[in-house]
A and B are shown apart, each in its own frame.
Chain A
């Protein structure tokens, strides 16, 4: 079955790096995604990684994928107060709908 887990909360200081972790169980995942949700808003696609990749970097964002351990992480460099939000990882397997983690609330302290 599909199960995606995330830690619920992360607090960092402005300027530090944030690392949000995610584990999944379905080894047939094709793509893995990171979405950002601000209060009362929909989901904004941040980045995605194909399952045969180990790493993807996009400006301040670095995604690491350990397929053996089924572990995905999102690193945000130089975290800003505007990065405060809930971050969801999601996996896509054979079915086209996404399975979401529970979300990690990132709090950035000035």
Chain B
């Protein structure tokens, strides 16, 4: 199979602090990873596409200075929420694209962020 992990699985932080979320592909190399955000009872919204060794591509309306993405290796991408505010509270899910003939995306278990 293809396994993607995320760490931490949940985090509570104070307003104004920064939080880093890690996304790792455990048994495959992912040149491309994606970061999604999911609000309660809603669908997943793409935030950014993360490419190993290059700058992330952000979706319209997503602040790149607030949501810093670093894809330092073929198995690790990180999302840092800087100066977090309560409205940033959400479920963040990453996915890794396995490079086979279908380029299927495999998702991590998600990170629940609560900003007080």
Contacts and interface: CB of A to CB of B under 8 A. Distances in A.
A41 B49 CA distance: 21
8 contacts: A40-B110, A41-B109, A42-B107, A43-B44, A45-B106, A50-B102, A98-B46, A98-B105
Contacts of A35: 107
Contact of B104 (A48, A99, A101, A102): A48
A45 to B, nearest CB: 6
Interface residues of A, number: 20
A50 B102 CA distance: 9
B42 interface: yes
Interface residues of B, number: 22
A42 B43 contact: no
A50 to B, nearest CB: 8
Contacts of B106: 45
Nearest to B34: A97
Residue of B44, B46, B104 most packed against chain A (CB within 10 A): B44
A24 interface: no
Given A41-B109, A43-B44, 9 more contacts: A35-B107, A41-B110, A43-B93, A45-B105, A50-B102, A88-B43, A96-B103, A98-B34, A103-B43
B69 to A, nearest CB: 14
Task: Give the one of A40, A42, A44, A101 with max B CB within 10 A.
Answer: A42
